Amino acid sequence: GADAFRDTGETLYAVLDAELAGTPIVALRRGGRPLVAFRPLVRTPRLSQVGCVAARPDPRNAVVLADAQGDLAANAEEAREIAARFGVVAAIGAAATTNALFAATKADILHVAVHGSVERGAGTLRLHDRPVSALEISGRGDVPALVVLAACLSAASDDGERALSLANAFLAAGAEQVVATLRPVTDVGAREVTHEFYRGGGAGDPV
């Protein structure tokens, strides 16, 4: 539609399927101008294209952080259930700190259910002791293979490629797979999604 070909800083995310999968969408033109001259464009892979990481049989341990500000009761409850699956104690409220986050080096899974935001262009997790930025996370290294971010805007940043998102930060730090959000989420909504994720075997095979 014509609305896609408008001069804007808003990123257009393209998901191509079936016979359109090979379409060079960046070369689409209107009035002689390619689409990428109008706006930022990101080709988003389909889930079937990203299933390149082998499923992890029987993940054995997890680090679970939740409700750092004391106002996410539904996620705190879910965090306790997730922790119980792995025989660990969730870090909830005042225990959901930067030390707890960065101590998760030997876990198979890191689950974080706190407030997320985009500040100064980059993703930020609001832990109990202080905010932690995507830039700080990306420089740490040695994070669990699977990271689940049940937080608002955890796959978002102000740059078109989402390079400064929390999701990208954990990938840069060594995670193989990250589950994250592109927009704000509610406490109850995030709990429902993560509950179904783990109930459906997401800890072993997120895709």
Q: What is the 3-state secondary structure (H, E, C) of 16-68?
A: CCHHHCCCCHHHCEECCEEHHHHCCEEECCCHHHCCCCCCCCCCCCEEEEECC
Helix (H) or strand (E) holding 92: strand 91-92
Cβ–Cβ under 8 Å, residues 202 and 193: no
Give the DSSP per-residue string, 96-137.
--HHHHHTTTS-SEEEEESEEEEETTEEEEE-SS-EEEHHHH
DSSP structural state of residue 83: H
Give residue 154's identity as a one-letter amino acid code. Answer: S
Predicted confidence at residue 101, as pLDDT, reads 96
Cα-based angle 179, 185, 133 (whole degrees, multiple of 5): 60
Note down pLDDT in tens along the chain; length 207 residues.
Answer: 788 899 998 888 877 766 776 777 777 889 999 888 999 887 776 655 555 666 666 777 899 999 999 999 999 999 999 999 999 999 999 999 999 999 998 899 999 999 999 998 899 999 999 999 999 999 887 899 999 999 999 999 887 777 899 999 999 999 989 999 999 999 999 999 999 999 999 998 887
Residue 165: both structure tokens together: 């998102």
- This prediction has a pTM of 0.76
| Widest CA span in the chain | 61
Give the DSSP per-residue string, 142-154.
---SEEEE-STTT
The conformational region for residue 126 under phi > 0 = left, psi -120 to 50 = alpha, else beta, is: beta
Give the integer Cα–Cα distance in Å for 137 and 178: 13
Q: How many CB atoms lie within 10 A of CB 159?
A: 14
DSSP structural state of residue 91: E
Predicted confidence at residue 178, as pLDDT, reads 94
